[in-house]
Amino acid sequence: MPEGKPSLVRPARVADATSIMTLVNELALQQVMLPRSPASVIENIRDFQIAEVDGQFAGCGALAVTWTDIAEVRSLAVRPSLQRHGIGRLLVDALVADARRLGVPRLYAFTYAPQFFGRMGFTVCQHEDLPAKVFNDCRHCPKFLACDEIAMTRVLDAERSPPQLFGKPQRAIPLPQRTATFVPPQV
């Protein structure tokens, strides 16, 4: 945290929704993360942790539970003027603590900041290693089949997240190939 300034990370409140949307969508315009709609922030406000410096909003991050054995770190963002002061790390620590409280054994992130997530103990994996994410969210994304975000994962509890499952879907779900010509079926 910036030296000499009082700072904290705390669960979000509904009053934080505007600050979250403003920051995330400003950064999304710079193409460093995906945007969030007002509804998706407000409906999921309990997923968010907020960092404050000197009583002011400094950043945010969310833990979105995807399935019983995995959750996503999403919408992690620090105000540009406050980046590289350890705030991102504190937000990830808070999200990890939340995941442990919930008993989630593995985290993942889709990101354009792999160096940062590497410092947070995440390693690169294949999108196909995360079938629940692909089937819940990715298929609704405009970038589906042409995704340029890097998938990364971090194991919190190895006993409940067996390494032999890495690299393979955990159930026999047919995954579409990411090719420019693939046309997803109409639902």
Ligand X SMILES: CC(C)(COP(=O)(O)OP(=O)(O)OC[C@H]1O[C@@H](n2cnc3c(N)ncnc32)[C@H](O)[C@@H]1OP(=O)(O)O)[C@@H](O)C(=O)NCCC(=O)NCCS
Please give the residue ranges that form the binding site for ligand X (CB under 6 A): 27, 32-33, 76-78, 83-89, 111-113, 115-116, 119
Residue closer to ligand X by CB (options 65, 170) is 65
Ranked by CB distance to ligand X, the top (closest) residue is 88
Q: Shortest approach of ligand X to residue 118 CB, angstroms?
A: 8
DSSP tag of 141 = S
Q: Shortest approach of ligand X to residue 109 CB, angstroms?
A: 6
Q: Shortest approach of ligand X to residue 153 CB, angstroms?
A: 14
Residue closer to ligand X by CB (options 82, 132) is 82
DSSP-derived pairing of the beta strands 123-124 and 150-155: antiparallel
Residue closer to ligand X by CB (options 48, 116) is 116
Residue closer to ligand X by CB (options 136, 170) is 136
How many Cα atoms within 13 Å fall on the side-chain side of residue 18? Answer: 1
Contact present, 112 and 150 (Cβ < 8 Å): yes
b/e code 40-60 from CB counts within 10 Å (16+ = b): bbeebbebbbbbbbeeebbbb
